[in-house]
């Protein structure tokens, strides 16, 4: 039974997240419905990450076992045909070894968060960025972000409904870029780790926005982290600025 890896892009607004759920629309279920149009015995897909409702993806990865030996290009084309008009695109399909696992084989996940500072409402980016009115102090945010790097107990930045067995994670990268845009500024956060806790990235960005606005000092991020208390966290920002950007494997199936 051949196994295929799928690289997937999607707009998260119409979906209640990645994971299949009863009586609501999910990205996983929508792709599985398309696969059933190709093979009626398809048992489903396994994704690299479970994005929340409203979260987008540039580079989600999933794997699927199929009966037929598909040409990779024809598989992606057929799936994209059956996925219309849903805002989901199969960017690439690749034949992989039987032991490839999209979730457990991932060695790093990268998220992008887009924060737009502009007073005028965004007509083109609505639903794709978190918009605030006033510009932020990027150097203060970078100073605050430095306290989060490395291995820590991230209980403060973890949702109360998080199901991870341990709050201890290692954050490898938290970079912030300032990009001039039409009548405003976009702050683009790149956040990278092997794995994340539920709402961890959105908690980071919401807290750092408080630093950038002057409501918090950079050292307050360190104090919040050391409190190991969810109530010490800053604002949890909305999901629509968040993107699962890239998943890394020891052997890139799409190389």
Tokens read off for 49:
């990450």
Distance CA 156, CA 68 (A): 47
The answer for residues whose C-beta is within 8 angstroms of residue 62's C-beta and 6 or more apart is 5, 6, 8, 28, 31, 45, 46, 47, 48, 102
The residue annotated as part of the active site, out of 23, 52, 67, 229, is 52
> Active site includes 69?
no
CA distance 55 to 15: 9
Distances (CA, A) of 180 to 141, 143, 184, 198: 17, 21, 6, 31
Q: What does the angle CA 196 – CA 234 – CA 237 come to, to the nearest 5 degrees? A: 65
Q: For the range 179-186, what are the long-range contacts, defined as Cβ-Cβ under 8 Å and sequence gap of 24 or more?
A: 181/116, 181/118, 183/118, 183/119, 183/120, 184/116, 184/117, 184/118, 184/119, 184/120, 184/122, 184/135, 185/116, 185/117, 185/118, 185/135, 185/136, 186/114, 186/115, 186/116, 186/117, 186/129
Q: Of 12, 35, 24, 39, which is closest to residue 82 (Cα–Cα)?
A: 35
Between CA 198 and CA 63, with CA 85 as vertex, the angle to 5 degrees is 50
Q: Looking at the annotation, which residues are catalytic?
A: 52
């Amino acid at each position: 039974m051949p196994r295929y890896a799928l690289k997937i892009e999607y707009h998260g607004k119409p979906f209640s997240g990645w994971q299949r759920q009863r009586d609501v629309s999910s990205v996983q279920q929508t792709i599985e419905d398309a696969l059933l149009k190709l093979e009626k015995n398809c048992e489903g897909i396994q994704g690299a990450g479970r994005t929340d409702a409203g979260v987008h993806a540039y580079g989600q990865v999933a794997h699927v076992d199929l009966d037929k030996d598909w040409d990779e290009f024809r598989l992606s084309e057929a799936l994209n045909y059956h996925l219309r008009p849903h805002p989901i695109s199969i960017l690439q399909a690749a034949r992989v070894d039987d032991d490839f696992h999209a979730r457990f084989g991932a060695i790093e996940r990268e998220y992008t968060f887009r924060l737009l500072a502009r007073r005028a409402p965004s007509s083109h980016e609505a639903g794709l960025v978190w918009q605030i009115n006033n510009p932020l102090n990027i150097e203060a945010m970078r100073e605050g972000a430095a306290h989060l790097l490395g291995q820590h107990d991230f209980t403060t930045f973890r949702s109360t409904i998080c199901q991870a067995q341990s709050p201890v994670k290692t954050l490898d990268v938290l970079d912030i870029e300032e990009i001039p845009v039409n009548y405003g500024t976009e702050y683009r956060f790149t956040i990278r780790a092997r794995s994340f806790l539920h709402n961890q990235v959105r908690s980071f960005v919401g807290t750092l926005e408080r630093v950038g606005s002057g409501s918090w000092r950079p050292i307050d991020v360190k104090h919040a982290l050391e409190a190991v208390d969810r109530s010490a966290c800053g604002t949890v920002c909305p999901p629509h600025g968040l993107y699962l950007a890239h998943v890394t494997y020891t052997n890139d199936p799409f190389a």
